Amino acid sequence: MSVDYLSIASLHVEYLQRGKTITALDSVDLSLSQGKTGVIIGPSGCGKSTLFNVLAGLNDRYAGQVLINGQAPRGGGETALILQEYGLFPWKTVWDNVILGLQLRKKTPREIQSQATMILDKLGLLPLAKRYPAQLSGGQRQRVAIARALVLEPKLLLMDEPFSSLDALTREEIQDFLLEIWQETGLTILLITHNIEEAVFLGHRIFVMSPGPGHIEQIVENEMAGDYELRGKIPFLEMCNLLRSYLHRRKKYAAGV
């Protein structure tokens, strides 16, 4: 039996809001092998972001077991986080945004220079190095966010609705781009999305989450993910429909229909 790179068992997270205890996640079990991609899909308020905060080491007040490569999550480790609005700092240039993580890890100026140049070059961002995020298009900003994560050579990449604000065409471009990165680096990727096609295109394993309190409703194995040619093919569409039916069933159930 292969050991999972990421494994979560009976995760339970509560937080206080105006004196009331709210359960954000309950009995969440999730596992992902090294070098695979997982996608979390579900409606708003199902605790997806809470889950990510735990994985990124931003929240250590949880019950249950969370192991990333056998260790409890912590900030600044082998996990990189890319957030919804990219989390790029508008007051830093592309270059300064990308080198930030290296600076925090106390790399020498020489290492910083060479590593950042390499990654920017690879992602075709070198000509934009001196620009500020506000001077970039949505797709370019997304690439910078990916560059900033990759420059730290992470083992696990967490992406919280990374493509939600991109137009359809750019979105597909960046999805392809992410696939390319994944194939080249062998990263383990866990991604949150609202988009069914995106989930089927990118996720080897799809976790359907439901709210009240947040839990995993269904796990869908989707080994066909990771193929550029997948979009529009019959199995792809069938898988999309299957996933859609899971999500709708859940919705009807919640609405009491």
Q: Which residues bind another protein (CB under 8 A)?
A: 53, 56-58, 74-77, 79-87, 89-92, 100-101, 104-105, 132, 134-135, 152
* Of residues 152 and 206, the one with the C-beta less far from another protein: 152
Q: How far is the CB of 209 from another protein (least distance, A)?
A: 20
Q: How far is the CB of 90 from another protein (least distance, A)?
A: 6
Cβ–Cβ contacts within 10 Å for residue 231, how many?
15
Q: How far is the CB of 251 from another protein (least distance, A)?
A: 28
* Of residues 78 and 172, the one with the C-beta less far from another protein: 78
Tokens encoding 236: 């792809």
* Of residues 53 and 222, the one with the C-beta less far from another protein: 53
* Of residues 161 and 198, the one with the C-beta less far from another protein: 161
Q: How far is the CB of 192 from another protein (least distance, A)?
A: 14
The span from the first CA to the last CA of the chain, in angstroms, equals: 42
Q: Please state, in angstroms and rounded to a whole number, the distance separating the CA atoms of residues 83 and 100.
A: 16
* Of residues 82 and 181, the one with the C-beta less far from another protein: 82
Q: How far is the CB of 145 from another protein (least distance, A)?
A: 9
Nearest to 40 by CA among 257, 255, 252, 247: 247
